[in-house]
Amino acid sequence: MITAQGIETYTRRDEEADIRYFCELMDCRDVDTLVVGLPKNMNGTLGEQAEKVQDFAEKLKAACGRKLVYWDERLTTKSAHRTLLEADMSRKKRKAVVDKIAAVYILQGYMDSL
């Protein structure tokens, strides 16, 4: 069984630097598929944020030459918060890792579907 692991939380800079960073990361880790969390509305529709994510992901796909898969990210942040609360983690520490945990849930969901 393969499990998803969080590496780090990346803070976006500008589009060119962001694309360069992610392409280098995928090269270093021999990644062949880019799994991107798609922030759908609760009714399943795509809003403005989802369109921004898709636009960036398509640019990343073109620049890095990887297969691209979108994965529904609804409720992953809420689930991550719940997990961290159950682990009795302080609010300050939760804030530092919640995005990483949510990303792990997205990637693990995709891997479990294979």
What is the residue-wise DSSP string for 17-78?
HHHHHHHHHHHHTT--EEEEEE-B-TTS-B-HHHHHHHHHHHHHHHHHT-EEEEEE-TTHHH
Report pLDDT for 95. Answer: 87
pLDDT tens digit string along 80-91? Answer: 999 999 999 998
pLDDT at 2: 86
Average pLDDT, the chain: 96
User: 1 or 101: which carries more pLDDT confidence?
Assistant: 101
Q: Is the pLDDT of residue 1 over 90?
A: no
Task: Catalogue all structural domains in the chain, each as residue range(s) with its CATH number.
Answer: 11-74 (3.30.420.140), 75-114 (no CATH)
Q: Find the range with the poorest average confidence among 16-20, 27-31, 89-93.
A: 89-93
